[in-house]
């Protein structure tokens, strides 16, 4: 299937709740105006793709009138990012916070607890025992789904599972044996920037991602070395915050490959929208992971064709041959060939970019993201 009381000690100050409405299976006091009250839980320390899915969803739901909170570790990446988005946070993401979490759920009359990690799934089921709130498990993790001890109890207490990609949904069916109607695929939404025509002249080819081997920067540079003799006017851009790879390491590789001034390694960019406007081709060269590929969605939304590797959920985002090209991971020659096709054919590059933008509007809007999720929450037992 696709698709008040004052705050407890250590709790973030939250907006006052509306007066309660009575119902047998309630999703919060604002149900009379079709608003749900939703707590998203995630206990990871970093602002990963998984966290971005959760925060984007919470912001999208809040944007259409629902009340959303983020339960996370204080000072963690998700906590900081949620604050920047104006999302209220509470420090309830570990089993040690169970009593405080239960009190919060009662006080705020939370209707849906959406757990985005395995640890918070267990926490959500424990915290909602005896309460009207329903539990939903959302998974945007690239690690394979495995059946674990106690999984039967968890999933019997879970109204629906949302998979961030269809391949993840299939793992739940095959590895855990869940009924197909319990697991739903919802692809992430993305903010749609104003449509901007592709730049004229020799296009820039860009890759965006943290500097880590899994993102395939070395393959991108190796592909650039193969492309440059045939398309000497091309410029290549590498943007991303250094993590396990130093910027100097990539600069050294570029020199060793003889790329000279054809490559610009920018480091982290605050304004990625400017790069999306300036580049003509987006590249995602990851060697793994990418259960949720925000960068792929952002290139599509910008109206740029994407050359990407067949890993994770990327094949569900890029329509091979229409909105971009899919190539095997760790294959610089294949990457170079696909980029070369787009460099050699201006009209094809333009048409594919327009198709990418149209796909983003039709398939990946934030309104669609929110609406599909609300429908799943309703199916899980939370009325609109």
Q: What is the distance, to the nearest Å, from the Cα of residue 247 to the centroid of all Cα atoms in its chain?
A: 25
pLDDT band at 27 (very low <50, low <70, confident <90, very high): low
Task: Write the CB contacts of 180 (distance below 8 Å, at least 6 apart in sequence).
Answer: 1, 173
Q: Provide the sign of the torsion angle of the four alpha carbons 255, 260, 262, 263, taken in this order.
A: positive
Q: Output the DSSP codes for 8-41.
A: PTTPPP-PPPPPP---SS-S-TTGGGT--EEEEE
Distance (Å, whole) CA 243 – CA 246: 7
Q: Which residues in the chain are classed under CATH 3.40.50.2000?
A: 31-188+365-380, 204-363
Residue 24 has pLDDT above 70, yes or no: no
- Which stretch of 4-18, 86-100, 305-319 has the lowest confidence by average pLDDT? 4-18
**HSE-up of residue 234 (Cα within 13 Å, Cβ side):** 25
CATH H-level, domain 31-188+365-380: superfamily: Glycogen Phosphorylase B; (3.40.50.2000)
Mean pLDDT across the stretch 348-357?
97
Rounded to the nearest 10 degrees, how much is the dihedral formed by the CA atoms of 248, 253, 257, 263?
A: -50
Confidence of residue 151 (pLDDT cuts 50, 70, 90): confident
Torsion (CA) 146, 149, 153, 158 in degrees, nearest 10: -30
Residue 261 has pLDDT above 90, yes or no: yes
d(C-alpha 143, C-alpha 48), whole Å = 13
Q: How far is the C-alpha of 270 from the C-alpha of 174, rounded, in Å? A: 41
Tell me how far apart the alpha carbons of residues 318 and 322 are, in angstroms, rounded to a whole number.
8
* CA pair distance 83, 52, nearest whole angstrom: 13
Strands in 279-284's sheet, in edge-to-edge order, are: 263-267, 235-239, 204-208, 279-284, 306-309, 324-327
CATH of domain 204-363: 3.40.50.2000
DSSP class per residue in 263-297: EEEEE--S-HHHHHHHEEEEEE--SS--SS-HHHH
List C-alpha distances in Å: 29 to 35, 38, 92, 141, 176: 8, 12, 22, 33, 35
Looking at residue 270, its pLDDT comes to 86
172-193 confidence digits (pLDDT tens): 999 999 999 999 999 999 999 9
**Secondary structure of residue 78 in the 3-state scheme:** helix
pLDDT digits (tens, 9 = 90+) for 43-88: 999 998 999 999 999 999 999 999 999 999 999 999 999 999 999 9
- The residues that bridge with 69 in the sheet, in sequence order, are 39
Task: Report yes or no: 316 and 357 within 8 Å, Cβ to Cβ.
Answer: no
- Choose between 84 and 11: higher pLDDT: 84
pLDDT at 26 over 80: no
Of 17-31, 239-253, 264-278, the poorest mean pLDDT is in: 17-31
């Amino acid at each position: 299937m696709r698709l008040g009381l004052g705050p407890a000690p250590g709790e973030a100050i939250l907006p006052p709740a509306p007066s309660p409405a009575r119902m047998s299976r309630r999703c919060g006091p604002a149900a009379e105006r079709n608003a749900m009250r939703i707590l998203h839980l995630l206990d990871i320390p970093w602002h990963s793709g998984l966290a971005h899915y959760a925060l984007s969803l919470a912001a999208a739901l809040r944007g259409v009138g629902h009340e959303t909170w983020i339960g996370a570790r204080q000072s963690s990446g998700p906590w900081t990012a949620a604050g920047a988005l104006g999302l209220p946070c509470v420090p309830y993401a570990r089993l040690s916070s169970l009593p405080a979490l239960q009190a919060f759920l009662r006080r705020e009359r939370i209707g849906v607890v959406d757990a985005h990690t395995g640890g918070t799934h267990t926490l959500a089921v424990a915290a909602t025992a005896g309460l009207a709130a329903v539990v939903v498990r959302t998974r945007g993790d690239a690690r394979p789904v495995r059946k674990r001890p106690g999984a039967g109890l968890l999933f019997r207490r879970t109204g629906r599972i949302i998979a961030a990609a269809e391949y993840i949904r299939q793992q739940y069916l095959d590895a855990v044996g869940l009924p197909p109607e319990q697991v739903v695929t919802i692809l992430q939404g993305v903010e749609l920037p104003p449509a901007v025509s592709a730049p004229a002249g020799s296009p820039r080819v860009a890759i965006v991602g943290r500097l880590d081997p899994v993102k395939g920067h070395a393959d991108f540079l190796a592909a650039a070395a193969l492309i440059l003799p045939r398309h000497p006017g091309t410029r290549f851009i590498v943007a991303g915050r250094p993590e396990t790879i130093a910027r100097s390491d990539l600069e050294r590789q570029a020199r060793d490959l003889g790329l000279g001034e054809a490559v610009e390694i920018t480091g982290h960019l605050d304004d990625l929208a400017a790069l999306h406007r300036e580049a003509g081709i987006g590249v995602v060269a990851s060697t793994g992971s990418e259960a949720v590929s925000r960068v792929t969605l952002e290139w599509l939304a910008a109206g740029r064709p994407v050359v990407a590797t067949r890993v994770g959920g990327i094949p569900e985002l890029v329509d091979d041959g229409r909105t971009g090209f899919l190539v095997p991971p760790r294959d610089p020659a294949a990457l170079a060939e696909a980029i070369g096709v787009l460099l050699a054919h201006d009209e094809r590059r333009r048409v594919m970019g327009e198709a990418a933008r149209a796909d983003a509007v039709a398939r990946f809007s934030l309104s669609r993201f929110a609406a599909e999720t609300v429908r799943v929450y309703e199916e899980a037992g939370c009325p609109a």
